[in-house]
Amino acid sequence: MNRDELFEQVSQRKSADAKWEQGRTFSLIYPTGRQDVDDVLMEANRLYLYENALNPIRFPSLGQMELDIVEMTGALVNLPTAGGGTMASGGSESILMSVLVNRDRAQRDRGIEPAKGNIVYPTSAHAAFAKAAHYLELEARPIPIKADFTADVDAMADAIDDNTVLVMGSAYGYPHGVMDPIEDLSNLALERGIGFHSDTCVGAFVLPFLERLGYDIPPYDFRLPGVTEMSCDVHKYGYATKGASVILHRNSEWIGLQYFLYTSWPSGLYGTPTVAGARPAGPIAAAWSVMNYLGMDGYLELMRGLMATTKKFRDGIEAIPQLRIMGNPIGPLLTFTSDEIDTYAVCDLMDDRGWNLDRNTNPNGLHMMISPLHEKYVEEFLVDLRWAVANHGESRGIEARYN
């Protein structure tokens, strides 16, 4: 197959994908809509097309960039000088590493056998916590959330026992964009001598900039003494290409519990800080490059515009009498529902108009993660949403799903 034929086929196959470049997609991707940022990301990936981050001795530039990314991310969320972390492929792997470390710390320090341990989290927690419990043979204890979609501190306190190895809360949560009471939850964990994970996979590159812009943000990071771990995705609102997350620990000594080290094979020492062996270098180079290219001023500029865009979406949705926003979302994430009409039926019609909204469940709602790219598509979206609300029929039965 020659090059022209090859890429004709690739283009044909890609034509069935979501048209995110046209502002039609509200999850999974987080584009700035700026060509200069895209150029930085593409050039960084191009320069590291073949390199393998498995071996920082062979590719020391990657090892140094990883250290820089961890340091810059830690500075955003007030990681103490005794703390540290590593990169991971995404939020799910960061969370898996946190659960692993806390499981093994509990065994080492409290004598809890792994098969007897449990983790306590609100039902709004990212599904990666349930996944980690499954992989690591821990009991998962999801606790129902309150009517405002925040974690129920009292109910979570009741669920904690002598075998609890980790408690968590979201800052902010993926399903509804609301902040869990991180201060109360982390204090609870601290009093019980248990690790606490503040999940900022979505919020790590949002909340620090909102604070600097004068928004009233409840405490959520390492300024709280009970927070032991944080997960921070650079490939969400840090605007890196996919494959860039950071897991941070209050105590850098705990990083050793992440590592797998093996010497009993002919090729010598094999050591990895996360699940992956071979790791793509492009996401590391892209994350380092975009963080340095944008800098504090660039991120603040993007966040200022992004929150203005989010307000336009929110105001437009709230102006439709049949719809209401769920909870009190704090950043560029909204979920809306209705007490009068079937929002899934509305979503069916939005699908027909080419919009890609995610469906939430328990209760039903439509989920939007807003990116800077969406700024020029707000009115077009709201026109179609008003039409869909006025003309919906019965839902076609499409299920709620994350992927």
Domain stops at, among 260, 291, 322:
291
Domain stops at, among 276, 291, 306:
291
Q: How many CB atoms lie within 10 A of CB 26?
A: 23
| pTM of the model as a whole | 0.96
Is the backbone peptide bond immediately before 273 cis, with ω within 30 degrees of 0?
A: no
SS3 136: coil
The answer to whether the Cα torsion of 47, 52, 56, 59 is positive or negative is negative
Amino acid at 308: A
In tens, the pLDDT along 113-162 reads 988 999 999 999 999 999 999 999 999 999 999 999 999 999 999 999 99
Residues 280 and 315 in one domain: no
Confirm whether 14 is domain-assigned: no
What the block records as the tokens of 99 is: 């659960």
Confirm whether 60 is domain-assigned: yes
In tens, the pLDDT along 338-347 reads 999 999 999 9
Residues 187 and 56 in one domain: yes
Residues 177 and 324 in one domain: no
Residues 307 and 285 in one domain: no
Q: How many CB atoms lie within 10 A of CB 64?
A: 12
Bridge partners of 195? 166
Q: What is the average pLDDT across 318-345?
A: 97
Q: What is the pLDDT of residue 209?
A: 99
In tens, the pLDDT along 2-60 reads 999 999 999 999 999 998 999 999 999 999 999 999 999 999 999 999 999 999 999 99
What the block records as the tokens of 320 is: 């439709």
Bridge partners of 122? 143
368 in the Ramachandran plot: left (φ > 0), alpha (ψ -120 to 50) or beta? beta
Q: How far is CA 59 from CA 65, 285, 309, 399, in A?
A: 10, 12, 41, 45
Give 395's pLDDT tier (boundaries 50, 70, 90).
confident
Residues 222 and 335 in one domain: no
Confirm whether 12 is domain-assigned: no
Q: How far is CA 83 from CA 40, 70, 80, 191, in A?
A: 30, 10, 5, 21
Q: H helices within 48-152, ranges in order? A: 60-76, 91-110, 128-135
Q: What is the average pLDDT across 280-288?
A: 98
SS3 152: coil
Bridge partners of 247? 86, 231
In tens, the pLDDT along 174-195 reads 999 999 999 999 999 999 999 9
**Residue 95 predicted with pLDDT over 70:** yes
C-alpha closest to that of 59 among 281, 289, 283, 290:
281
Q: What is the pLDDT of residue 399?
A: 65
Bridge partners of 369? 333
Residues 161 and 54 in one domain: yes
Amino acid at 264: S
Q: What is the average pLDDT across 79-108?
A: 98
In tens, the pLDDT along 361-376 reads 999 999 999 999 999 9
Residues 369 and 312 in one domain: yes
Q: H helices within 213-260, ranges in order? A: none
- Mean of the per-residue pLDDT values for the chain? 96
Residues 221 and 323 in one domain: no
Which CATH number do you get for residue 317? 3.90.1150.10
Q: What is the average pLDDT across 99-105?
A: 98
Confirm whether 313 is domain-assigned: yes
What the block records as the tokens of 46 is: 């191009």
Residues 62 and 104 in one domain: yes
In tens, the pLDDT along 255-268 reads 999 999 999 999 99
User: Judging by DSSP bridges, how do beta strands 260-262 and 270-272 pair with one another?
Assistant: antiparallel
What the block records as the tokens of 202 is: 């979505």
Confirm whether 229 is domain-assigned: yes
Confirm whether 3 is domain-assigned: no
In tens, the pLDDT along 192-246 reads 999 999 999 999 999 999 999 999 999 999 999 999 999 999 999 999 999 999 9
Residue 391: its H or E element: helix 378-391
Residues 211 and 134 in one domain: yes
Residues 48 and 101 in one domain: yes
List phi, psi (to 5°) of 154: -65, -45
Range 69-107 burial, b when 16+ CB lie within 10 A, else e: bbebbbebbbbeeebbbbbbbbbbbbbbbbbbbbbbbbb
Total domain count, the chain? 2
Confirm whether 98 is domain-assigned: yes
| Domain span including residue 373 | 20-33+295-391
List phi, psi (to 5°) of 131: -60, -45
Q: What is the average pLDDT across 325-343?
A: 97
**Residue 355 predicted with pLDDT over 50:** yes
Residues 341 and 231 in one domain: no
Q: What is the pLDDT of residue 403?
A: 47
Bridge partners of 324? 337
Instruction: With beta carbons less than 8 A apart as the criterion, state whether 101 and 249 touch.
Output: yes
Domain stops at, among 273, 291, 309:
291
Which CATH number do you get for residue 279? 3.40.640.10
**Residue 397 predicted with pLDDT over 90:** no
Q: What is the average pLDDT across 300-326?
A: 98
